Amino acid sequence: MTTKQFMFVNRKAPYGTIYAWESLEVVLIAAAFEQDVSMAFLDDGVYQLKKGHQTKGIEVKAFEKTFGALEDYDVTKIYVDQESLTERGLTTDDLALPVEVFSRAELGKLMEEQDVVLSF
Amino acid sequence: MKFAILVNEGPYTHQASDTAFNFAKAVLAQGHEIFRVFFYHDGVNNATRLTTPPQDDRNIVDRWSKLAKTSELDMVVCVAAAQRRGIVDDGEMKRNGKDATNLAPGFRISGLGQLVEAGIQADRLVVFGD
């Protein structure tokens, strides 16, 4: 099968809308199709990676654990936008996964190199 | 060029479906090919034949169905997203013990693999969403 570079761009907070969860579902399928998958987190999307999701109060399934399964699917290219972290007072210590941090400009270059960019 | 189109928003609430439709028409008018149109997130709501907009407004669902017929478009609705939002075909009705179907003509329900395949096969995958 042809392998292409798929980048999943996550721009929205983890809960409140379903985008983050349904994005994660496509990521896992793309990985199962043995594509070269990366995930980029920017804007409020960086909150998706924050440690300690507690969703009991809103009766929504927490998907922090699913992020932990990404490595089992060989999804290890997790990119985070530095400016988005800074704007929200976050550092990589707050995040649940090992990530690579890029400036907004660098992230733009990475996007340019992709075959397919899916933005959620 | 071979295009694939992803529609991530429902009809009427959001411009995405209108723009995707106009884009699809323009692509075909220019002599390009559309490998597949995939409906995900609330985009699956573009596929209910029960939609009844006021008579003086565009019928977004019918418009897609007609384009699928005249241009032999492959229009796929994500099964997981469809189940959450109550978009049902015969197979889903039987499988989930429901008492009705509402999938509009020209659409079919299938898995996310169809979206990934579209990304692989098409020269360009164009996303319409928020």
Chain B: give the shortest CA distance to residue A44, in Å. Answer: 14
pLDDT for the residue numbered A65: 85
User: Where residue A55 sits, what CATH number does that domain have?
Assistant: 3.40.1260.10
Among B41, B80, B84, the residue with its CB nearest the CB of A19 is B41
Structure tokens at B15: 């411009």
The parent domain of residue A78 ranges over: 5-119
What's the CATH code of the domain at B15?
3.40.1260.10
Q: Domain count for chain B, please give it.
A: 1
Q: Is A6 on the interface with B (CB under 8 A)?
A: yes
Question: What does the angle CA B43 – CA A15 – CA A89 come to, to the nearest 5 degrees?
Answer: 125
> Chain A contacts of B84, Cβ < 8 Å?
18
The pLDDT assigned to A68 comes to 85
Q: Is the pLDDT of residue B130 over 90?
A: no
Could you write out the three-class secondary structure of chain B? CEEEEEECCCCCCCCHHHHHHHHHHHHHHCCCEEEEEEECHHHHHHHECCCCCCCCCCCHHHHHHHHHHHHCCCEEEEHHHHHHHCCCCHHHHHHCCCCCCCECCCEEEECCHHHHHHHHHCCEEEEECC
- B-chain CB neighbours of A29 within 8 Å are 111-113, 115-116
Tell me the per-residue pLDDT of A4-30, one tens digit each, with 9 for 90 and over: 999 999 999 999 999 999 999 999 999
Tell me the per-residue pLDDT of B56-89, one tens digit each, with 9 for 90 and over.
999 999 999 999 999 999 999 999 999 999 999 9
Mean pLDDT on B40-54: 98
The domain tally of chain A equals 1
Residue-range definition of the domain harbouring residue B49: 2-128
List the single range of A61-70, A95-104, B71-80 with lowest mean pLDDT: A61-70
